[in-house]
Chain A
Amino acid sequence: MTIDDMRQLLHSFDGSGFKSLLDELEAKRQRAFTTFLGALFICGLIVIFILLTQGDADLFQISVGLSFIVCMVFYRRMAVIRREAKRELMPALCHNIGLEYLMTPSSHLIAPFDQLSIIPGYDEKTLEDQIFGKIEDVDFQLFEAKLITVSRDSKGRRTTTTVFNGFLVQFNFHKNFKGQTIITKDHTAIGNFLTGWTRSGERVKLEDSVFESEFEVYSTDQVEARYLLTPTFMERLLEFSRLPNIKQLQLAFKDGSIYMAIKRSGNAFEGGSYKLNDPELIKQNIKDIAQIFDMVTELKLTQNTRI
């Protein structure tokens, strides 16, 4: 199946087989939502009652805390129903075009991206939505990652910061190479000087001034880095990095593969509508999956032209 066939098949996906299931799940979600609102109302009343009658600050704080926990339990029921819809829909969408889907990827998948330092350091990670398979002859895998750093102030209060949210992708690359080449975002002269120490390999100075102004390249082999980053491929990377849904692109070549860390906004594969039986939900998931084809097309990863 060619990439065009796959794209066409994806966009012509018939969601009618899922209608009854999604209707059923939507009804469950609405019931769960009503229950949640009821719990919220009752908890609110209890808290107000305690505040007005007891006047005890400790009791008030405890009641607020308990109310929050109770409301969260009911809120999570809605999330569980949503995941159930996703668990049914996403594998079907992927199987339809000959790809595989796993809702919870193995945590070791992030290891090469860590080792190549194309993702920032983090304390906590959430990995989901792994899609893998072959596009034409190119093996690939993609998963979504949210990386968080945790800091604590002098009083021990916990603050979290999302340092990365987006796709981590690995494609087999059509050229033979042995070394390691890393392409990171340019951090200006001082930033590059400071981060350069941590990179393995030597800095590679390339002739494309626009590419040089946006990226920094480090490689264990100067010739191989230029073999991989031909002038044409550099242009493709620049165009790809400027796509509207891409906030930042960092990539690396290692062990015959190209690894990409694509920072983007929002959570992918979650559908475009809150209602589970809204056709927009399937449409948005299709759009999200189609981004894999955009990567292949933009970077011409299936083209064996060696340029």
Chain B
Amino acid sequence: MALLIGLLAIAGIFYYFYLRLIKQRNYALEALSSIDVQLKKRHDLVPNILKIAKKFMEHEDAVLTKVTQMRTISASDYDKTNPEEVAQHLEASKQLQSAMMNLFAVAENYPDLKSQETMVRAQETYEEVEGHISAARRFYNSAVTDLKNLVEIFPSSMIANMLGIKAMPYFEVDEAERKPVDAADYL
């Protein structure tokens, strides 16, 4: 009888952690999907910005080509359950963001482009999309932290190992964004 109760208790604990792990993994996957939804918005917006920029930035082929390349790479399919592929996907999206920031920085040298109403609107929309990506990243990182805790802390770590559930990579902020803002750059 005692053995049966003991086995039932172990099974109960196992099921509890199993449930939490699966729920948390699904939650992290949902958060990852929400990033993809926002990245798709950026992906769709980039061609419009490039189209406007190309008219004025004829001598900036390298900048424009870099954006196009990064857009193609970041849009490639990946396996959401494979942490390495997820990390590569998130890295590619960071690269696209860097390329876009570079494009906007270079665009500063073209007053005609800067004053174009369509460009101003596109840049505003882009900033809004970036705001949503940033929010989605915070949601994702919060879900990843909870999953990581379960995957790394005993006894749930043992069950995670048995089920092959792995922690997912964080979506880190790009190095360029970490740098303190120099107000003089904008004056």
Chain A: residues with CB nearer than 8 A to chain B?
Answer: 175-176, 205-207, 222-227, 230, 306-307
Q: Is the CB of A227 within 8 A of B142?
A: no
> Do B38 and A223 touch (CB < 8 A)?
yes
- B135 A224 Cβ-Cβ under 8 A: yes
> Which residues does chain A contribute within 8 Å of B152, judged by CB atoms?
none
Contact of A306 with B34 in the complex, beta carbons under 8 Å: no
Q: Taking A222-B31, A222-B34 as contacts, is the C-beta distance between A227 and B127 under 8 angstroms? A: no
Taking CB as reference atom, which chain A residue is nearest B37? A223
Q: Does B136 contact A (CB under 8 A)?
A: yes
Task: Name the residue of chain B whose CB is nearest to the CB of A224.
Answer: B135
Is there contact, CB below 8 Å, between B139 and A306? no
Chain B's nearest CB lies how many Å from the CB of A137?
A: 15
Q: How far is the CB of B35 from chain A (nearest CB, A)?
A: 9
* A222-B141 Cα distance, complex, nearest whole Å: 12
Asked if B34 and A223 sit within 8 Å, CB to CB, the answer is yes
Chain B nearest CB from A237 CB (Å) reads 16
Count chain B residues whose beta carbon lies closer than 8 angstroms to a beta carbon of A. 14
A306-B127 CB under 8 A given contacts A207-B142, A222-B139: yes
Q: Is the CB of B128 within 8 A of A223?
A: no
Taken together as a complex, chains A and B put the C-alpha atoms of A55 and B150 apart, in Å, by: 81
**Which residues of B119-161 are within 8 A (CB) of A?**
127-128, 131-132, 134-136, 138-139, 141-142
Q: Using Cβ atoms and an 8 Å threshold, which residues of chain A touch B31?
A: 222
Q: Which partner residue on chain B sits nearest A226 by CB separation?
A: B135
B11 to chain A, nearest CB (A): 27
- How many Å from the CB of A173 to the closest CB on chain B? 13
Residues in A neighbouring B132, C-beta threshold 8 A: 223, 227
How far in angstroms is the closest Cβ of chain A from B75? 20
A175 to B136, CA, bound (A): 16
Q: Which residue of the partner chain A has the closest CB to B132?
A: A227
- Most B Cβ at <10 Å: residue of A205, A206, A225, A227: A227
Q: Mark B residues whose CB is within 8 Å of A.
A: 31, 34, 38, 127-128, 131-132, 134-136, 138-139, 141-142
Q: Report how far A226 CA is from B35 CA in the complex, Å.
A: 13
Minimal Cβ-Cβ distance residue in A for B130:
A306
Asked if residues A226 and B139 are in contact (CB atoms below 8 Å), the reply is: yes
Report chain B residues within 8 Å CB of A206.
Answer: 138, 142
Q: Could you tell me if B127 and A223 are in contact, using CB atoms closer than 8 angstroms?
A: no
Which chain A residues border B141 with CB–CB below 8 Å? 207
How far is B31's CA from A12's CA once the two chains are assembled, in angstroms? 53
Q: How distant is the Cα of A40 from the Cα of B178 in the complex, in angstroms?
A: 73
Q: Report yes or no: A223 in contact with B131, Cβ–Cβ below 8 A.
A: no
A224 to B34, CA, bound (A): 10
Give Cα A222–Cα B33 distance, bound, in whole angstroms: 12
- For A207, the chain B residues whose CB sits under 8 A away are 138, 141-142
Most buried by B among A176, A226, A230: A226
Q: Which residue of chain B has its CB nearest to the CB of A307?
A: B131
Query: Is B136 within 8 A of A306, CB to CB?
Result: no
Give the distance in Å from the alpha carbon of A207 to the alpha carbon of B139 in the complex.
10
Nearest residue (CB) in A for B136 is A223
- Known pairs A176-B128, A306-B127, A306-B128; A223 contacts B142 (CB<8 A): no
The docked-state distance in angstroms from the alpha carbon of A226 to that of B135 is 5
Q: Residues of B contacting A223 with CB < 8 Å?
A: 34, 38, 132, 135-136, 139
Cβ of A227: which chain B residues have Cβ within 8 Å of it? 131-132, 134-135
Q: In the complex, what distance in Å separates the CA atom of A206 from the CA atom of B141?
A: 11
Which one of A175, A222, A307 has the greatest number of beta carbons of chain B within 10 Å?
Answer: A222
- A225 and B136 CA atoms in complex are apart in Å by 10
Residues on B with beta carbons closer than 8 Å to the beta carbon of A306: 127-128, 131
Out of B127, B128, B138, name the residue touching A226 (CB < 8 Å).
B138
B146 to chain A, nearest CB (A): 8
* A205 x B136 contact (CB < 8 A): no
* 24 A–B pairs (Cβ distance < 8 Å), ordered by A: A175-B131, A176-B128, A206-B138, A206-B142, A207-B141, A207-B142, A222-B31, A222-B34, A222-B139, A223-B132, A223-B136, A224-B135, A226-B134, A226-B135, A226-B138, A227-B131, A227-B132, A227-B134, A230-B131, A230-B134, A230-B135, A306-B127, A306-B131, A307-B131
